[in-house]
Amino acid sequence: MAYTTINDPGLFFNTVLYTGNGSAGNAISGVGFSPNMVWIKERNSTSSHTISDTIRGIKVRFNPDLTDNEETLQNLMTSFDADGFTNGADNGVNENNKTYAAWNWNASTAFSNDASATSIGTIDSAGTVNDAAGFSIVSYTGTGANGTVKHGLSTAPNWIIFKNRETDGQNWVVYLSVTSSTPADDFLKLNANSAVGSSTSYGNNTVPTTSVFSVGANDNTNKSSVGQMAYCWSERKGYSKMGTYIGNGLAGGPFVYTGFKPQFIIGKRLDAAGGWWMVDNKRPGYNNTLEYVVADSNNAEQDDGSFATDFLSNGFKCRATNGNFNADGGNYSYIAFADCPFVNSNGVPATTRGGV
């Protein structure tokens, strides 16, 4: 059996860098596909992160570092294109002479589920999915009571980000299958740096199955009569990995095996407060990777070495001692997506990335 079925991860996820021009019609290409979810961060200024998707529409955004509800802006985006997307003049995505990073996911197959008709779940859902890459975007209306929602994947999600669409002040709730040996009632907040918490009200103390995820009665994940979103990822060998590692507090930090050469990594400390750090292989494009942004903050990109990382052929290595990244004995989670698999289906191995 082949090591992986995904020889070209760039068909399903890709990072692009671009410079804003402050004008409507700034076409961003080089993604390699028409994205269904785009996460953008202005690198050299303190604008909030922006998430747009094809379910809510090109002019509707979320801000992952805030608890605001979704916002419709006529000058946000004008289209999702065959090889990228086109921005309007909004400063959050296209301020003149500002630099941006955009992380793009492909989930192009539509699905819908009438729970009463199919007996799958108890709450109707609709969305788009790319099962080969283990990613789905799910829309549903909350009921305010314990329930289950079809996620569209053939395997149980390892990472789910929930957001209430309509109500201000609601946290971004994150389920990660790796937070503990019993993750059913564990949760993190994407908009906060707090350690992992425990509550049955978000996911009804139930881990996702191969067909549904569970929601409790909490307004963040299931407010009655209110639109909700869930972004779901399931691991795919050679393409994506959700795991943990223990820090050693040394500049020669731990090596973390992913089974592929990473393209993009999001990390979070679990046992103490610490921001959601984000690094990728385009910033700066060689080892060590020094440039990072933090998902729970609107801070500009930093390159102070706090999250220095080597991107290797089969994983990554921590090269700094920041407590949010590599404290001695610290417990950390990570989500990584591949640049190329460690070994493709033809038996060709990946090479490590060069340094300077």
Q: 34-52 pLDDT, tens per residue? A: 999 999 999 999 999 999 9
Residue after which a domain boundary falls, among 54, 75, 105: 105
Amino acid type, 306: S
pLDDT in tens, 193-202: 999 999 999 9
Domain holding 170, by residue range, is 109-233
Whether 290 and 305 have beta carbons less than 8 Å apart is answered as yes
Q: Phi-psi category of 325—alpha, beta or left, where left has phi over 0 and alpha has psi -120 to 50?
A: alpha
Q: Are residues 249 and 303 in the same domain?
A: yes
Residues 115, 187: one domain? yes
Question: How far are the Cα atoms of 24, 145, 162 from residue 201, in angstroms, in the given order?
Answer: 43, 10, 13
Model pLDDT, residue 71? 96
Number of structural domains, the chain?
3
Q: Is residue 346 part of a domain?
A: no
Q: Do 95 and 207 lie in a common domain?
A: no
Measured between alpha carbons, how far is 155 from 136 in angstroms, rounded to an integer? 11
Asked whether residue 350 is domain-assigned, the answer is no
CA angle (187, 35, 11) in 5-degree steps: 95
CA angle 153, 154, 156 (to 5 degrees): 75
C-alpha Rg value of the chain to the nearest Å = 19
CB burial of residue 188 (10 Å; 0-12, 13-18, 19+): buried
Q: Is residue 351 part of a domain?
A: no
Number of separate helices (H) and strands (E) present in the chain: 4, 27
The reported pTM is 0.96
Query: Is residue 175 in a domain?
Result: yes
Indicate whether 113 and 229 sit together in one domain.
yes
Tokens 């795991």 correspond to what residue? Answer: 243
> Are 172 and 207 found together in one domain?
yes
pLDDT in tens, 6-39: 999 999 999 999 999 999 999 999 999 999 999 9
* Residue finishing a domain among 212, 233, 254: 233
Q: Are residues 170 and 95 in the same domain?
A: no
Which pLDDT belongs to residue 333? 98
Confirm whether 349 is domain-assigned.
no
Interval 100-136: pLDDT, tens: 999 999 999 999 999 999 999 999 999 999 999 999 9
Residues 6+ apart with CB under 8 A from 355: 286, 287, 288, 310
